[in-house]
Structure 1
Amino acid sequence: MNTWLTKLARIGGASVALALAVAMAPAHADEDFQLDRAPNNTHDIASLQHGAQLFVNYCLNCHSAKLMRYSALEQIGISQKEIEQNLLFTTDKVGNPMTVAMRPDDAKTWFGVTPPDLSVEARARGSDWLYTYLRSFYRDDTRPTGWNNMVFNNVSMPNVLWQLQGIRTVKFEDVKDLETGEKTHQFVGFETVKPGTMSRVDYDAAVADLVAYLTWMSEPTQQTRRQLGVFVLIFLGVLTFFAWRLNASYWKDVQ
């Protein structure tokens, strides 16, 4: 775990911290863009731990998670000592919620909008949306940050993971409809301009881990709730069986 944090800290640097400070301004999602299915890694402890590390290193500088406390990370196998040594900022304590030092009023003044809290972002957006969104950034010199996104058109947030993914541009082609004869400008893929520190497969895996953590963070008790639900259903099934047999025994002599 310490090795991962060291690597991420080296990759990130000051440029990532600055990029994270740019919040997501209002924009509309491209409903025509096909979402990719996110791998379900919420049961994989190693994946959740890696996702937590990515979240702290790349997201928590600007986006808070006020409904999550650092101490809750012990549920995914990160010890209190590891949290204190590797995941806490200087002034934070294990029992504190995941907040940021930047004040909302300052963020709105500097960037035009307050960065959204990510506590339940996975429940609001869906894991498929987040997984596709974090893998769909491309360079766009017409945008203030120099970045755009195929899922969130005209997004103001830059690609904070660009050093991992690399720099890409987007390719469009004019496609003619055979029935109407009309031409439409359609997306055909991404083109790598500068490779990142990760291969495409490794980057997709890292994003899957981050999305898994965001999904888990949105409802940490989900697994416990599901397990409890199974036991409740089994109990009700057994109870129903005995009630049925008792009822049959009670009425067997009644004509």
Structure 2
Amino acid sequence: MDYDRLTEVMRRLALEAGARIMEIYDNRDLEVRAKGDDSPVTLADEVADELISEGLRAAFPDVPLVTEEQAATHDQQGDTFLIVDPLDGTKEFVQRRGDFTVNIAYVETGLPVRGVVYAPARGRLFYTTPTGLAVEEGGALDPAASGDRTELAVAAPDNAALRVVASKSHRDAETDAYIAKYAVADMKSAGSSLKFCLVATGEADLYPRLGRTMEWDTAAGHAVLAGAGGRVVRFDDHTPLIYGKPGFANPFFIAYAPGVTLAGS
């Protein structure tokens, strides 16, 4: 893989898709329909998916593509592929809460090694560089030219005063019970893959997810967090979270900054 080309294409497509999403978010009724699995989908999901998938297939025709909105792509097998969630956090989008993202990632031999997470309503863009480092780009966010970039690094956590981030829309009693095993000094709620990015920036130390997710929900944020020195492990045995699983479904997992002493599952 040409990582320079990959970085340029993923960044550009995420920004272009985000612009299309915001046109719909700002100017249209957010009509919601139910997919076959009863999850919500909107016009913005479909428009962003078309833009991103066409761009990736044109740039990397020999790399398999998995995307949430194209069920036919969910039947393939392999451990190296591009994976897309064109609008992660559809519930946040529909409720106009802003915590939704565009997620694009490249998985190589089962691990997300490059990715981009763009939160257009927040104006926050996170991605991995060609060398695999994680950055946040500020400024005007021009698809044609990169702006000022800040290299990301996870914080050195204090286990006596941890900062935890959890799902805004999918919080449950099981998650709360797990968080209660830690000495928590600060608790944040966030939607979509922004939770990974908050650990990557050092704004949080720990993100546990005890609920259903798919690989397209997590791969891009996982790549950004890994590029900042963070880790993502299975909840049950604390082994690395691997991608390319049958059906692209994830087990429960924990994303964290090294130095956090993980509680027993």
Whose strand proportion is higher, 1 or 2?
2
Which structure has the bigger radius of gyration? Answer: 1
Ranked by relative contact order (alpha carbons within 8 Å, sequence separation 6 or more), the top structure is 1
TM-score under structure 1 length normalisation: 0.28
